[in-house]
Amino acid sequence: MANTPQSKKRARQNERRYQINKARRSRIRTYLRRVEEAIESGDQSAAKEALQAAQPELMRGVTKGLMHKNTASRKMSRLSNRVKSLS
């Protein structure tokens, strides 16, 4: 339990950041799920559009410190390879 004023403020800040990060992570997962669903349906044009919409969201997660740059790059690379293989 936080006792000092500084630790109480820290607890408030941590909770606020947690909520913001949770929302961002959920948003990124939604975009990735849309790409996955488009790939599953076999529609390459829809998959390409979904991938182009997902890319800035992933990179925004990197700049906000949500994930590592290499993780986002790896996800983009694997998804784009799967979209290319649809043709």
Q: Compute the chain's Rg from CA coordinates.
A: 17
| Cβ 25 vs Cβ 61: under 8 Å | yes
pTM, 2 dp: 0.87
pLDDT of residue 64: 95
Counting as low any pLDDT under 50, the low residues of the chain are: none
For 37, residues 6+ apart whose C-beta sits below 8 A from its C-beta are 50
> Taking the C-alpha atoms of 78, 30, 33 and 54 in order, what is their torsion angle to the nearest 10 degrees?
-40
Hey, what CATH topology would domain 5-84 get?
A: Methane Monooxygenase Hydroxylase; Chain G, domain 1 (1.20.58)
| Sequence ranges of the domains in the chain | 5-84
pLDDT of residue 78: 97
